[in-house]
């Protein structure tokens, strides 16, 4: 009889908007105990998921399954880079960008079924000044919104939209110098986004053509925009065509350096961090093993996620704008 594969399931109790007390029961019910020897732990503090994941990898676990948002996924994945232990993703956050890119179902039960398939492939990851990211990183307006979102503490798409509206009214584009192996770009920009995966989350495709197995970083530079440009930009963002906007510069590179006038914040997989004036960004090919759907599962999953992020976001914008107009 084949020996069971040991997996650690980590649950972030504060990701997203729902109570997580029911999750261990679902995990035990849905994961295949004939295949896996399952251990379940709740994270208790910052970087706890990282420490537990490193420990599991050192002990030779087949996989570490993270139940949480993009921040939790980043913490676990960072611990598993260049190891034989695979990352399992059960999306339970606000955006779930990496899960959506990999066609992992947002439904927890269906996502657990992907783990049962034990289909593992190697994917790229990236670093920004040695800080790993797996989905996107960026400077400019999106980093400011992420910082405001975290400070306000209101989870979910409505909280994010409220932060975006608030920051948009006062944000000013900044000067940047971008150096790649192919040359130098100097521009005043609203956003510089670097994608290992294709989207922020909620099907907002900031780097729509990103491929996590090509050894490259997809870069989207949004030049200064007017309020009239914003609506069209939003439509293109959710329809996977933002690279066709005339206010966009997009390119693909294995590495780049971003320089700005002074230090400031940057978002890494949606979490904000202070960074120095110069930021070196690198792609690390095939450095992370991940549980992903088989081709048959992927075809079934892809239709369940199309469009949901767009309409949730549109309805959230409508609500927040109406509230903002009431207080003018």
The 10s digit of each residue's pLDDT in 83-137 is 999 999 999 887 899 999 999 999 999 999 999 999 999 999 999 999 999 999 9
- Which two tokens mark 25? 């029961």
Pairwise pLDDT comparison (311 vs 21), residue with the higher score: 21
Task: Give the up-direction half-sphere exposure of residue 313: CA atoms within 13 A in the CB hemisphere.
Answer: 21
The CA-atom distances, in angstroms, between 176 and each of 188, 266, 275 are: 6, 13, 14
What pLDDT is stored for residue 12 in this prediction? 87
**Do 17 and 94 contact (CB within 8 A), yes or no?**
yes
Q: What stretch of H or E contains 15?
A: none
Query: What are the structural domains of the chain?
Result: 5-126+287-306 (3.40.50.10330), 131-283 (2.60.200.40)
Average pLDDT, the chain: 87
**Do 263 and 278 contact (CB within 8 A), yes or no?**
no
Pairwise pLDDT comparison (168 vs 266), residue with the higher score: 266
Task: Give the up-direction half-sphere exposure of residue 270: CA atoms within 13 A in the CB hemisphere.
Answer: 29
Beta strands in the chain (DSSP E): 5-11, 36-42, 63-68, 86-91, 120-128, 131-133, 136-140, 174-180, 183-189, 191-195, 217-222, 248-253, 255-259, 264-268, 271-275, 278-291
Q: How confident is the model at residue 325 (pLDDT cuts 50, 70, 90)?
A: very low
What pLDDT is stored for residue 73 in this prediction? 94
Residue 76, classed as helix, strand or coil, is helix
Question: pLDDT (tens digit, 9 = 90+) per residue, 281-304?
Answer: 999 999 999 999 997 566 555 544
**Do 173 and 189 contact (CB within 8 A), yes or no?**
yes
Distance from the Cα of residue 263 to its chain's centroid:
23
The model's pTM: 0.86
């Amino acid at each position: 009889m084949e020996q069971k594969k040991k997996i650690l399931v980590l649950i972030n109790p504060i990701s997203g908007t729902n109570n997580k007390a029911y999750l261990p029961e679902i995990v035990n019910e849905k994961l295949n105990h004939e295949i896996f020897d399952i251990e379940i732990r709740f994270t208790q503090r910052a970087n706890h998921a990282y420490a537990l994941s490193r420990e599991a990898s050192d002990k030779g676990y087949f996989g570490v399954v993270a139940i949480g948002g993009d921040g939790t996924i980043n913490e676990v994945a960072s611990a598993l880079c260049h190891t034989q232990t695979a990352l399992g993703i059960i999306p339970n956050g606000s955006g779930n960008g990496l899960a959506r890119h990999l066609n992992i179902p947002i439904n927890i039960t269906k996502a657990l079924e992907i783990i049962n398939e034990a289909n593992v492939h190697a994917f790229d990851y990236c670093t920004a000044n040695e800080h790993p990211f797996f989905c996107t990183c960026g400077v400019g307006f999106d980093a400011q919104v992420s910082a405001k979102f975290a400070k306000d503490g209101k989870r979910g798409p409505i909280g994010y939209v409220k932060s975006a509206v608030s920051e948009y009214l006062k944000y000013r584009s900044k000067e940047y110098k971008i150096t790649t192996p192919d040359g130098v770009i100097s521009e005043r920009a609203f956003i510089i986004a670097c994608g290992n995966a294709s989207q922020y989350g909620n099907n907002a495709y900031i780097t729509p053509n990103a491929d996590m197995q090509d050894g490259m970083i997809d870069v989207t530079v949004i030049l200064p925009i007017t309020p009239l440009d914003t609506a069209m930009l939003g439509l293109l963002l959710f329809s996977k065509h933002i690279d066709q906007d005339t206010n966009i510069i997009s390119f693909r590179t294995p590495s780049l350096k971003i320089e700005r006038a002074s230090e400031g914040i940057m978002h890494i997989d949606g979490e904000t961090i202070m960074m120095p004036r110069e930021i070196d960004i690198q792609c690390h090919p095939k450095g992370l093993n991940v549980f992903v759907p088989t081709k048959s599962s992927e075809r079934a999953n892809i239709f369940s996620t199309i469009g949901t992020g767009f309409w949730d976001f549109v309805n959230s914008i409508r609500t927040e704008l109406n509230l903002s107009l009431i207080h003018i």
